[in-house]
A and B are shown apart, each in its own frame.
Chain A
Amino acid sequence: MKAMQDLDDQELLSRFQSDLARGESGARWVDALFRRYQSRVATWCLRFTGDRESAGDLAQEIFLLVYRNLGSFQGSAKFSTWLYTVARNHCVNALRSKQAQTQRASESLDFDVEDSAASSVLDSLEQDESLKLMRSLIEQNLEPIEKKVMVMHFANGISLDAVSRLLGLTNASGARAHIVSAKRKLARARERWQARSSK
């Protein structure tokens, strides 16, 4: 019989579910599984919040959520992927809720260029068409790091400080510098597109 540390995640989960089926708690299998990921979840939460106390709260809530739903975990995904999804969603929701409470302003998407003409042309496009255009401008004009920062901040609502910590950005102004540069590039790209479409 394999020692506990030699069992992979799936084997630990199988033994937990077998114990559950026999009416036992199966706690030791889950405990061993959770211990493998505690440092990872703690680090992740710390990067999200930036402080030990609230990161500890989040990490505890994540493991509680996972534990409560372990019985229904089917194993179609890897445990680590599922844990990541739970951790990510929980952290994003908690951060959004905190930001909503404190009404902390996020970075604005507004551009510094005159864009009324572009707006009217864009407004005349069908929604799908303008979405495709925007995606194409983003894809063709932004560096990978700029795309990531834009998605995390604008689409996921993650604060710029948290984005900087999560991506390990060590430049002076962190994620903000990439947002500024991405906005400038997108504004220029829209100007070029507007000039072409008005010909």
Chain B
Amino acid sequence: MSESINKRITDALGETSDCPALDRLLDLLASREGEDNRARAEAHATACAHCSTELALFREFENATPRPEESADVVAIVARLQGNSPVSAVPWWKKVTSIQWMAPAAVALAAMLIGVFVWPTGPAEGTAPRVGENETVRSGRIQSVSPSGAVSVKPEKLEWQAVKGAVKYQVKVSEVDQTPIWAATVAAPQTALPPDVLEKVVPRKALIWQVTAVDNHGATLADSGIVRFQVVPGQN
């Protein structure tokens, strides 16, 4: 087969001077420029390999619903897009301190202050014993996790408040689209990040992590939820 024939076939499959731009072709086919023009456009779109393919691809795009085998990937990509929107004038880590987020926090703080200054102090008879300062109650939520939000220095370890009754903690670190990076089970309420994980902790790249406290029966006592962090040099 000569090169020239190959080239002519490839050229014949390409756009011609008669091919309208896609938006115009769609207008013509929608009869926005009269019935005669619609019929001509339809005849062209049927005969022209380039235009019929353009239309088919556009319709695939318009109706691009994830197939079952694509669903998990599409959900992860959409989560990533929402976490890194080009629209956000304010970085996500600044939104943490925005008024929208602060409102519930302010209510919680007010409730705590009322609890400290107004509520009678000391346990009443028959109430549960106070837990140690370094332990959380079995509230289901692990508190005081670090790193969290924007941090100025690359963290070398993950730390959290101990949970009473926990014999081990399951820790996992992931990309923001939940692609796993590392997981470990430890006994202490902290763990050093291994070198291959530290390599992925680069400035301005967000990562997420989660820790789950487990008792000696293997039951979950508390969980940190997803904690997001990002090294932002100069951030206090």
The winner among A25, A67, A82, A135 for most chain B CB atoms within 10 A is A135
Chain A residues near B58 (CB, 8 Å)? 81, 84
Instruction: Check B12 for interface membership: any CB of A closer than 8 A.
Output: yes
* Interface members, chain A 40-97 (any B CB < 8 Å): 40-47, 52-53, 55-56, 59-60, 63-64, 67-68, 76-78, 80-82, 84-85, 87-88
A39 in contact with B9 (CB, 8 Å)? no
Q: Which of chain A's residues have a CB closer than 8 A to the CB of B61? A: 40, 44, 84, 87-88
User: In the bound complex, what is the Cα–Cα distance between A77 and B49 (angstroms)?
Assistant: 23
Chain B interface, DSSP helix/strand/loop, else mixed: helix
Chain A residues whose C-beta falls within 8 Å of the C-beta of B114 in the assembled complex? none
Q: Which of B83-91, B131-139, B192-200, B213-221 is the interface stretch?
A: B83-91
Please determine whether B47 and A139 come into contact, CB atoms closer than 8 angstroms: yes
Instruction: Answer yes or no: A8 CB below 8 A from chain B CBs.
Output: no
> Given the interface contacts A38-B81, A168-B67, does A67 sit within 8 Å of B49 by beta carbon?
no
Chain A nearest CB from B61 CB (Å) reads 5
Q: Is B36 in contact with chain A by the CB < 8 A criterion?
A: no
A183 CB to nearest chain B CB (Å): 9
Instruction: Given A84-B58, A134-B11, answer yes or no on A151-B50 (Cβ-Cβ < 8 Å).
Output: yes
- The distance in angstroms between the C-alpha atoms of A119 and B2, with both chains bound, is 6
Chain B residues near A60 (CB-CB < 8 A)? 80-81, 84, 86
Please measure, in the bound complex, the distance between the C-alpha atom of A60 and the C-alpha atom of B23, giving whole angstroms. Answer: 24
User: B76 contacts which chain A residues (CB < 8 A)?
Assistant: 52, 56
Residues of B within 8 A of A195 (CB): none
Chain B nearest Cβ from A52, distance in angstroms = 4
Per-residue A-contact encoding for B1-37, CB less than 8 Å = 1, 0 else: 1101110111111101000001100100000000000
Residues on A with C-beta less than 8 A from B11 are 131, 134
Q: Which of A111, A118, A148, A186 has the most CB of B within 10 A?
A: A148
Given the complex of chains A and B, what is the CA–CA distance between A134 and B14 in angstroms? 11
Query: Given A60-B80, A67-B87, A85-B22, A150 and B57 touching (CB < 8 A)?
Result: no
B64 at the interface (CB under 8 A from A): yes
Interface positions, chain A 19-53, Cβ under 8 Å from B, are 25, 27, 30-31, 34-35, 38-47, 52-53
Q: Nearest CB to that of A119 among chain B residues?
A: B2
Question: From DSSP, what is the main secondary structure of chain A's interface residues?
Answer: helix
Judge if A185 is at the interface, Cβ distance under 8 Å.
no
Q: How many Å lie between the Cα of A88 and that of B12 in the bound state?
A: 21
Q: What are the residues of chain A within 8 A of B74 when measuring CB–CB? A: 39, 42-43, 46
A154–B57 CA distance with the chains assembled, in angstroms:
15
Inside 8 A of A138's CB, which chain B residues have their CB? 9, 12-13, 49
A27-B77 in contact (CB<8A)? no
Give the distance to chain A from B86, nearest Cβ to Cβ, in Å: 4
Q: Given A68, A78, A134, A152, which contacts B57 in the complex, CB threshold below 8 Å? A: A152
Q: Which among B9, B14, B22, B86 is the interface contact of A186 at CB below 8 angstroms?
A: B9
* 16 extra interface residue pairs, beta carbon distance < 8 Å, beyond A40-B64, A150-B49, A168-B60: A25-B89, A31-B85, A39-B74, A43-B64, A56-B76, A60-B86, A82-B23, A84-B58, A115-B1, A119-B4, A123-B2, A134-B8, A134-B11, A142-B49, A152-B53, A154-B9
Q: Which residues of B contact A (CB under 8 A)?
A: 1-2, 4-6, 8-14, 16, 22-23, 26, 47-50, 52-53, 56-58, 60-62, 64-67, 70, 73-74, 76-78, 80-82, 84-89, 177, 179
21 contacts between A and B (CB under 8 A): A27-B88, A31-B85, A39-B64, A40-B61, A42-B66, A44-B64, A46-B77, A52-B177, A55-B73, A56-B80, A59-B80, A76-B23, A78-B23, A110-B1, A110-B6, A122-B8, A135-B12, A139-B48, A148-B52, A151-B13, A168-B60
